[in-house]
Amino acid sequence: MTIVLKSYLSGQWVAGTGRKSLLHNPTTGAVVAETSTEGLDLGAALEFARSRGGAALRELSFAQRGELLTAMASALHEHRAELLALGALNGGNTRGDAKFDVDGATSTMAWYAKLGESLGDAGFLVDADTIQLARNPRYVGQHIRVPRHGVAVHINAFNFPAWGFGEKAAVALLAGVPVVCKPATSTALLTARMFEILVDAQVVPEGAISLLAGSAGDLLDHLGPQDALAFTGSSDTGAFIRSRDNVVRLGVRTNVEADSLNAAVLGPDVEVDTDTFDLFLREVGKDMSQKAGQKCTAIRRIFVPRGSLEVVRDALVEQAAGFAYGDPNVSGVQIGPVATAAQQRDVRAGVQTLAASGRLLLGDGGVGSPQGTGLEGGYFVTPTLLEVDGPDVGVVHDLEVFGPVQTIIPYDGTADQAVRAVARGRGGLVSTVYTDDKRFAMRAVLGLAPHHGRVCIGGSKVADHSPGPGTVMPQMVHGGPGRAGGGEELGGVRGLHFYMQRCGVQGLKPLVEKIAGL
């Protein structure tokens, strides 16, 4: 039976009329749900969120908003098994992939709940110290950050229907700003179920969370000067949304999280059969297999010193050839299908483009022979490894192939050449340097830092502790310059700043201090 998704707007479940978008099971191609957002009054929905949800959230302290996040995380966790199953049904997730998404959402909410507790009874942030502004020490200035009186519109990508909602909502709600979440239509079933659970549990004030389950319609046309727009998706859509007339003219605060050609740089000191090499191999492999390579943070470019190319190539091919791919519900399968038929076509075309400038070492971006039965309509892609001759091959730095596809790029083993080549990706979310050589690490990390939101260092002493660059942690910033969107999310309390207005208050010292709660 096809499920009809509803949106949760202005405190009610509503269904659009008119043309329906279909949601599929990527493993079989079967239709599992449909939705429409046509005819929904999105202007009224945003106003409802601003006036009801915003007002209610601003009445609460950080600690109380934290309690709200704890209640949300608990309500969702109670339905974990059902949510994991939806990750498989509408996302093609293996159980591990679904856990990564769903547990990632609830653990980020729980982490921000703890942050709320530590921020205590205040409702806004005090920014640095009081500053004396005149000869008379009684005239001072103090910066504060207060919740903006708008709504946070969150537009998410298809690959993380749970985490995408959870990580953005946790930060906005803790800041005191209501959320309107628009998941990608193709995988919205999981997000919609999360909303049903949260609404039924009655754990958030009315208007604090809303869901638009389908295409955006005229949503962005209703954004105003107090609103915040946080987008995750492709660079093209990001460029489109941030150039909207009202977004530009009204100064709607906008954050874009987009494409990234994340790199792994293997240092020249790393020999095979060492802890550092094993870590490199494990993390590269994880980023090919996890979520079928559909992670914005996944390693796409693997830089290998020419001197060790042959042996490293062999190890990477052997590892990738060992991945079982197919029906994510079959025990032992490590790589499920990609999320949509369009995605499958794009990956295949992308592999062909890369292969034209290099060579295929394993797979070809085609369907191959996935494990399981009844998969003829599924969106499968063989794990695919390519190699190019060197860092000057331009296409590997331009084209993001969003699937289980990676390219080996030999380099001369110097940190400077690796940095120059990685930077040709024009800005990324995260890259990793695998080395135990301090000088190489310092040169590479400081060279890569201006081009990234995060740089990881993989070495023997952290081999047992690294979660891998693909895991976005709430304590650390997520985002990156240039083609990665130029945005920044999470990063502990830093994430709250996007939803708050920094205001410098000037006046008589005791009064300013009283207002700031000092």
Residues contributing to the site for ligand NAP (CB under 6 A): 155-159, 182, 184-186, 215-216, 220, 232-234, 237, 240-241, 257-259, 296, 400, 402, 429, 484-485
Nearest distance, CB of residue 351 and ligand NAP, angstroms = 16
Residues 333/368, Cβ–Cβ less than 8 Å: no
At 69, list the tokens.
């996040």
Which residues, at least 6 apart from 208, have a Cβ–Cβ distance to it below 8 Å? 49, 53, 56, 57, 68, 173, 178, 179
Question: Catalytic pick from 167, 181, 257, 387?
Answer: 257
296 is catalytic: yes
DSSP letter at 284 equals H
Instruction: Give the other-Cβ count within 10 Å of 410's Cβ.
Output: 20
Nearest distance, CB of residue 240 and ligand NAP, angstroms = 6
DSSP letter at 254 equals E
181 is catalytic: no
Nearest distance, CB of residue 408 and ligand NAP, angstroms = 21
Nearer to ligand NAP, 298 or 375 (CB): 298
Distance CA 130, CA 504 (A): 10
Nearer to ligand NAP, 252 or 429 (CB): 429
Distance CA 454, CA 315 (A): 27
Nearer to ligand NAP, 259 or 327 (CB): 259
Instruction: Give the other-Cβ count within 10 Å of 332's Cβ.
Output: 8
Nearest distance, CB of residue 429 and ligand NAP, angstroms = 6
Hey, CA dihedral for 481, 487, 491, 497, is it positive or negative?
positive
Angle between helices 80-91 and 95-119 (to 10 degrees): 130
Nearest 5 degrees, angle CA 124-CA 127-CA 128? 145
Distance CA 63, CA 117 (A): 4
> H-type helices in 163-265, by residue range?
163-175, 188-201, 235-242, 245-249
Nearer to ligand NAP, 142 or 232 (CB): 232
Nearer to ligand NAP, 106 or 191 (CB): 191
Angle between helices 62-78 and 188-201 (to 10 degrees): 120
Nearest distance, CB of residue 461 and ligand NAP, angstroms = 29
Residues 180/153, Cβ–Cβ less than 8 Å: yes
Residues 333/326, Cβ–Cβ less than 8 Å: yes
Nearer to ligand NAP, 231 or 380 (CB): 231
Nearest distance, CB of residue 500 and ligand NAP, angstroms = 21
Nearer to ligand NAP, 233 or 285 (CB): 233
Q: How far is CA 451 from CA 27, 87, 94, 258, 263, in A?
A: 37, 33, 32, 14, 11
Which residues, at least 6 apart from 247, have a Cβ–Cβ distance to it below 8 Å? 220, 223, 229, 241, 254
Nearest distance, CB of residue 258 and ligand NAP, angstroms = 5
Question: Catalytic pick from 167, 181, 283, 296?
Answer: 296
Nearer to ligand NAP, 167 or 387 (CB): 167
Q: Is 219 exposed, middle or buried (0-12, 13-18, 19+ CB in 10 A)?
A: buried
Nearest distance, CB of residue 501 and ligand NAP, angstroms = 24
The full length of the chain comes to 518
At 54, list the tokens.
């915003």
Instruction: Give the other-Cβ count within 10 Å of 503's Cβ.
Output: 12
Which residue's Cβ lies closest to ligand NAP? 233
List the catalytic residues: 257, 296
